[in-house]
């Protein structure tokens, strides 16, 4: 009865238009107040504990702010230039470069909508001008943007780690190969489509332009090395790496690329007789200008926007954890686990049921909320079937990827609709041909565990030598 009331209130609130976070908190509090032995005071304490007791969740605002600086600071357009210099000369190369740019930006942002917004706002219009169908361009970017939560660092992986208490670092290791693999599948599909439809190819760039583009994008690429190198090498935890990435992103946006803050007018090149003194003078201006950048209006706006996104995510997470607390306190996951295992299903049968549940949930809810609700239910069942917790986590993340491009709540659909000025229905139709690739990839990740586990096991073996 408690289970029925809890989920009925949740879905009733969602269908009435109530925000996900409010629906989660409302259903939890009403259920506790009327049907459970817990007090409302204990729920208030639990709400605060959800945010203070999970050190891993502290990485989320850092990654959000880092992504905000890089999105505004021009890293996206430099990554696109580098990717285009590398594969733009291949037929369909501009679309392939867009996917590669999404992969690179995903490795510094951790967010799928941010990846679509940063890359799509530039490349969709560029592809259309070059001769690509707009529907094709929108579908490619919407799907490639989902890599933002699969290629580490990933906010969704951090949420899964907090919900199940598995290692966030190992989750990041496990997501690397699947992310590269999914991006490669998209690029291969683009190449085949481009050959069939005769899509244009750009001229091969010179070696000078390629290295110039690589140097221009090095600010973002170095951040990838810093984050993943520190985590994979055991030098820093994901939260510590996220804090460093925020400081780095601020410095590279303000003093490196100088796309924001008070240092925009300082030139990059110095020529003539007074070049030496100009270098000294401008270096001093940069050193003095970095602290002043904290008070620049555009920098403050980026920080405020990042704070808004972080607050929204953490509010959803806190309420979802409250909902999960009600589930566990009433032993609902144990009852469901016993019911499923009592059916005598093999492991592959359980994985089919799990994928269907997650795909259905992805149509209506935000990924972080889904994981915090479903992970406490599915995680113990997966352990009983002998499924590795990290492998289980990657399966869930890929399901969340698909949820980002399925209506009515797919966030990537709304971002792409905003970029193109088209309706959601139009964007959904543009994404449908590519959705089959994600579903095929989900099957591969589900039933070939080594796609997810190879890199974590390899790094573990190297550390033990």
Distance CA(196)–CA(240), nearest Å, equals 47
> Helix, strand or coil for residue 345?
coil
Query: Percent of the chain beyond pLDDT 90?
Result: 23
Q: Which two tokens stand for residue 285?
A: 């201006």
Q: Report pLDDT for 319.
A: 81
pLDDT digits (tens, 9 = 90+) for 155-164: 899 989 988 8
Whether the predicted pLDDT of 3 surpasses 80: no
Would you place residue 77 in the very low, low, confident or very high pLDDT band (cuts 50, 70, 90)?
confident
In the chain, the largest separation of any two C-alpha atoms, in whole Å, equals 84
Q: Give the pLDDT of residue 51.
A: 58
Given a contact cutoff of 8 angstroms between Cβ atoms, the answer to whether 65 and 189 are in contact is no
Look at residues 9, 308, 50, 330 and name the one whose alpha carbon lies nearest to residue 163: 50
DSSP 206: P
Can you tell me the mean pLDDT for 407-415?
Answer: 84
Q: Tell me, what's the pLDDT at 268?
A: 53
- pLDDT, greater one: 159 or 284: 159
The per-residue pLDDT for 88 is: 84
Length of the chain: 465
Contacts of 438 (CB under 8 A, 6+ apart): 143, 146, 182, 398, 401, 402, 405
Give the span between the Cα atoms of 147 and 105, in whole angstroms: 9
| Whole-number Cα distances in Å, 244 to 112, 238, 299 | 21, 10, 18
For 422-451, the pLDDT digits (tens) are 888 999 999 988 899 999 999 999 999 999
265 band by pLDDT with thresholds 50, 70 and 90: low
Distance CA 25, CA 27 (A): 6
Cβ contacts of residue 204 below 8 Å, gap of 6+? Answer: 89
Mean pLDDT of 192-206: 86
Is the model's pLDDT at 18 over the cut of 90?
Answer: no
Per-residue pLDDT at 8: 85
Higher pLDDT, 54 or 181: 181
Q: What is the pLDDT of residues 336-346, one digit of tens each?
A: 777 777 788 89
- CA 298, CA 360: separation in Å to the nearest integer? 40
187 or 465: which leads in pLDDT = 187
Q: Which residue has the higher pLDDT, 10 or 453?
A: 453
- Please state the rounded mean pLDDT for residues 339-363: 87
| pLDDT at residue 410 tops 90 | no
Q: Which of 67-71, 270-274, 388-392 has the highest average model confidence (pLDDT)? A: 388-392
pLDDT at 35 exceeding the cut of 80: no
Query: What's the pLDDT band for 264 if we cut at 50, 70, 90?
Result: low
Q: Which of 69-83, 270-284, 303-317, 438-452 has the largest mean confidence?
A: 438-452
Report the alpha-carbon distance of residue 366 to residue 313 in Å, rounded.
10
How high is the pLDDT of residue 450? Answer: 95
Give the integer Cα–Cα distance in Å for 156 and 396: 10
Q: What tokens does 67 get?
A: 């992504």
Mean pLDDT (whole number) for 56-76: 80
For residue 54, the model assigns a pLDDT of: 67
HSE of 16 in the Cβ direction (CA atoms, 13 Å)? 10
Q: How far apart are CA 416 and CA 398, in angstroms?
A: 20
pLDDT over 80 (residue 223): yes
Residue 36 has pLDDT above 80, yes or no: no
> What is the average pLDDT score of the chain?
84
Q: What CA–CA distance (Å, rounded) separates 327 from 374?
A: 10
pTM metric for this prediction: 0.85
User: Does residue 378 carry a pLDDT above 70?
Assistant: yes
Give the model's pLDDT for residue 275: 53
Between vectors from CA 337 to CA 49 and to CA 172, what angle results, nearest 5°? 55
Residue 373: Cβ within 10 Å count: 21
> Is the predicted pLDDT of residue 224 greater than 80, yes or no?
yes
How far is residue 33's CA from residue 80's CA, in Å, rounded to a whole number? 53
- pLDDT of 256 > 80? The answer is no
Kindly tell me if the per-residue pLDDT of 40 is higher than 80. Answer: no
Which among 266, 222, 259 has a CA at the least distance from the CA of 69? 259
pLDDT at 397 over 90: yes
What is the pLDDT, as a whole number, of residue 233? 82
Measured at the CA of 71, the angle between CA 241 and CA 233, to 5 degrees, comes to: 20
- Predicted confidence at residue 42, as pLDDT, reads 65
């Amino acid at each position: 009865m408690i289970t029925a009331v809890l989920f009925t209130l949740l879905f009733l609130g969602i269908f009435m238009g109530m925000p996900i976070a409010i629906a989660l908190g409302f259903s939890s509090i009403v259920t506790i107040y009327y049907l459970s032995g817990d007090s409302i005071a204990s729920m208030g304490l639990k709400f605060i504990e959800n945010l203070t007791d999970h050190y891993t969740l502290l990485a989320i605002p850092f990654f959000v702010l880092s992504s905000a600086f890089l999105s505004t600071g021009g890293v996206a357009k430099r990554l696109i230039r580098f990717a285009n210099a590398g594969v733009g000369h291949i037929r369909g190369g501009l679309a392939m470069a867009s996917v590669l740019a999404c992969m690179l930006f995903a490795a510094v942002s951790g967010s799928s909508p941010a990846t679509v917004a940063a890359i799509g706002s530039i490349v969709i219009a560029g592809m259309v001008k070059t001769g690509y169908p707009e529907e094709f361009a929108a579908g490619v970017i919407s799907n490639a943007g989902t890599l933002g939560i699969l290629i580490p660092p990933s906010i969704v992986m951090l949420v899964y780690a907090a919900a199940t208490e598995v290692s966030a670092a190992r989750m990041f290791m496990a997501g690397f190969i699947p992310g590269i693999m999914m991006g490669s599948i998209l690029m291969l599909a683009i190449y085949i489509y481009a050959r069939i439809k005769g899509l244009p190819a750009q001229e091969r760039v010179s070696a000078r332009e390629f290295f110039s583009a690589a140097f221009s994008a090095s600010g973002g690429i170095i951040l990838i090395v810093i984050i993943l190198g520190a985590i994979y090498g055991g030098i820093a935890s994901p939260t510590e790496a996220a804090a460093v990435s925020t400081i780095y992103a601020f410095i590279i946006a303000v003093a490196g690329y100088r796309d924001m803050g008070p240092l925009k007018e300082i030139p990059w090149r110095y020529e003539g007789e007074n070049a030496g003194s100009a270098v000294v003078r401008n270096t001093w201006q940069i050193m003095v200008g970095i602290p002043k950048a904290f008070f620049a209006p555009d920098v403050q706006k980026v920080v405020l926007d990042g704070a808004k996104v972080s607050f929204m995510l953490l509010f959803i997470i806190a309420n979802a954890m409250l909902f999960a607390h009600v589930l566990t306190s009433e032993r609902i996951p144990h009852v469901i686990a016993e019911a499923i295992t009592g059916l005598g299903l093999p492991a592959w049968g359980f994985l089919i049921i799990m994928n269907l549940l997650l795909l259905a949930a992805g149509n209506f809810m935000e990924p972080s909320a889904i994981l915090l609700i479903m992970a406490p239910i599915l995680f113990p069942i997966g352990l009983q079937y002998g499924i590795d917790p990290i492998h289980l986590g990657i399966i869930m993340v890929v399901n969340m990827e698909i949820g980002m491009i399925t209506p009515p709540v797919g966030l990537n659909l709304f971002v792409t609709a905003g970029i193109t000025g088209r309706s959601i229905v139009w964007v959904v139709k543009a994404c449908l041909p590519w959705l089959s690739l994600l579903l095929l990839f989900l099957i591969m990740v589900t039933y070939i565990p080594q796609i997810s586990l190879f890199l974590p096991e390899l790094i573990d073996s190297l550390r033990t030598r």
